[in-house]
Structure 1
Amino acid sequence: MLKKLLSIYENSILFLNQPENPSDQMFILCNDAENEWISIPKTDVSEKELKLLKTIFKLVEVETSANPSTSNGWYEFLLLNGPLPSYPSEEAIFRLIQFQMSSDDANQIEMESALKGFFTEDVLIIWENGSRGIVIEEKTQISLSEEELISMSETLESDFYVKVSFYIGKLHPFSLELREKFRQEQEYFSFGIINLGNPHILTFERVFPAFLAHHLPEELKQKVNQEVIELFHDDPEMFSTVKIFLENNLNASLTAKRLYIHRNTLQYRIDKFCEKTGIGLKDFHGAFTVFLACLLFEQKRN
């Protein structure tokens, strides 16, 4: 009878012996009459279906740790204030890449398998909840650039129909301080997801300017060039043009492409901004001041 479930639950696996070290992300059901076991992803089974299955088959209790990746202690260390996990090399350096899916309906097992396919099989993945997790890479395993991570995010979105955002952490030595570094990056990631439009890729450099602007005292916010903010308020198109121009490192071709406008139209808008404000965007100090004004205007608008 368990074999019939294979056609209903496509991600299930049939065993002739009780599976060893089963994942706590799976329901394990046993048919004593035929001495068969089947594992079904918990995300594939509704509460009503589970009640029905339990009346027909025996549900095997899986005694594993709170997270499938806790055998080496990383889950307890990063998320539960546990001790530093054991590791062969005390001089190891790690990069923690956080990810968040736009929905918790995706199959965690399939998602984890896909992630390991893009990274390496040796990376460790732990889950904070149904939609958020952490990829732990040792420095010697790092192979993906920021551009490749963007491409991977787009591929996952296409395959799983959920948007996946990544926060690329810095390289940190293997020490107790790693937990505090992770928690700071965790704060930046959460801030970026909420305040920066949920982009594919976030880094410290991308998040911190907005993070800083958000935490400026109200007194300092009022001292930022109000003429610029008033111009943005009166002309939202000018705001989007200037912000995207600055975000693209003053590259006119990339900016025009993103805005779907001609380069001459872009140049006209930039010249108009400089004429009205008296601020040159090609000057570092001018660009910094205007970008800060963009962030404050955006936060106030939202």
Structure 2
Amino acid sequence: MEMEHIVQQLEQTLGISLRLKTLNEQEYGELAKALAASQDDAVSIGGSQGKRSTQSKAKSPQFQHGQARSMTLTAAGAYDNEALGEIWIPIQMQKPGIVIAAARGDLTVSEIRLIELWLSTLRGASSLNAKSGSKAEEERSAQQLGAWLKECLEAGEQVAELPEELPIRSSLSADMVPFLLLNESEHAPAPSYKALQRLLRSYFDGDIVLVPLHEKEWLILAEQQLLVGIVDDKEELTAEGEQDSLALFCMGLYELISTEWVGDFHISAIPSVNALHALPQAVNMLRETMTIGRTFQVKEHIHLSTGLHLERLVYSIPEYQRNLFLREYAAGHTDLFEDSETLSTLESFFELDCNVSETAKHLYIHRNTLLYRLDKIKQETGLDVRSFSDAVLVKITLLLYKVTKRK
């Protein structure tokens, strides 16, 4: 609402003459001095707060204080300019200054306070609208970035500099950690952009960039320093390295999201990237990491690029070569993987670096029971997984089996 219209409404409501006044240099200086002086020396208005006569608007005695200064603060919060015979109610204190001006004696204390209350309400509404508009603009900027990323990936442009005209560019930097969040729930509705952004900011304890890619797929970009302090044991975290740090961070993020929204969520993450020059490549790698992780680690919901090196290599082998290997070099071996007990034994054995004792503890079985299972595998395949070369062959066969059967 424009201030001229507000002044007109006030005139109609109060039945007096008001005007919107832009102060000149001298007037602004006097108002600034009065503002400074009023912090220590406010002048009381007096006791009369009654309504003025509708027939005669004589000069109100509460403004006749006779002070030496040419402008003073009244008890109602307005400024009394004796030289001009006006009462000023500030609207904008920044230079040049804008006030609502009325003749001295035309306003009572109650009416001044009523005007100030109205102005305060309007400022609050304006501030609320500004915040709402800012959030809407932020979401539009994120959508523009998502559309640009989609165009780049469809065109095969993975290394592309972020256009200068994208407003969100100012929120990105050359060192950001990217995450990909995927919601696969068919029946549960996807969380709204605002709700998800609010939840993520509470977890990251700072501003993040949330970019919608598809209906239930989001890119999250966070400054690397925001990841610090999420995990309590920082000394242990430093010793374990960046991969474990990222894994622990993703675990907390997954637990938060899965608690807040019911559904099947997956998170993939890669080390920090240059968000200004290589963002399409980062999104492509996040998606590839998500696909590879879900192919080879079907029970996991968190997938890190740093822990899938061999899986990534196997996934890159053309399909016909995978099938050829399984037919010619692993004929009959893949039947082992149909047995859930044998499959879990091999996965745990490889995960624990072929350590018999640790694998037995992990599977809650006796060491001799594990040795029996490994001997059984050797009898059926001729491959002893306690031997490095045979273990490599069985591991690769297992990965090829997974990517072939679950593609």
Please tell me the TM-score bracket, short chain as reference.
0.5 to 0.7
When the two chains are superposed, the root-mean-square deviation of aligned CA atoms in Å is 3.7
Across the two proteins, how many residue pairs are aligned to each other? 248
In the superposition, relative to structure 1, how do residues 243 and 149 fare at CA in structure 2: closer, same or farther (>3 Å)? same
Q: Which of 209, 224, 232 in structure 1 is aligned with 2:310?
A: 209
The answer (yes or no) to whether the contact 1:94–1:171 under 8 Å persists in 2 is: yes
In the superposition, relative to structure 1, how do residues 258 and 227 fare at CA in structure 2: closer, same or farther (>3 Å)? farther
* 1:105 equivalenced with 2:189 (yes/no): yes
Per-residue deviation at 1:226? Answer: 1.0
Match of 2:207 in 1: 122
CA deviations on 1:73-107 (whole Å, 9 max, x unpaired) are: 643553444616534886x3122111112325143
Match of 2:149 in 1: 78
Match of 1:289 in 2: 393
In 1, Cα distance between equivalents of 2:295 and 2:147? 26
Match of 2:257 in 1: 156
* 1:20 equivalenced with 2:100 (yes/no): no
Max Rg structure: 2
TM-score normalised over the length of structure 1? 0.65
Match of 2:30 in 1: none
In 2, Cα distance between equivalents of 1:301 and 1:71? 38
Within 5 A, what are the aligned runs for 1:230-245? 230-232=334-336, 235-245=339-349
TM-score normalised over the length of structure 2? 0.50
Match of 2:176 in 1: 94
Per-residue deviation at 1:118? Answer: 1.9
The answer (yes or no) to whether the contact 2:337–2:398 under 8 Å persists in 1 is: no
CA deviations on 1:246-266 (whole Å, 9 max, x unpaired) are: 134335576556656455433
Q: Which of 122, 131, 139 in structure 2 is aligned with 1:68?
A: 139
Q: Which of 126, 130, 136 in structure 1 is aligned with 2:221?
A: 136
In 2, Cα distance between equivalents of 1:122 and 1:189? 25
Paired amino acid for 2:177: R
The answer (yes or no) to whether the contact 1:69–1:125 under 8 Å persists in 2 is: no
Structure 1 gaps, min length 5? 1-14, 26-63
- SS of equivalent residue, structure 2 residue 179: strand
In 2, Cα distance between equivalents of 1:266 and 1:148? 34
In 1, Cα distance between equivalents of 2:217 and 2:299? 13
In 2, Cα distance between equivalents of 1:83 and 1:246? 46
In the superposition, relative to structure 1, how do residues 293 and 198 fare at CA in structure 2: closer, same or farther (>3 Å)? same
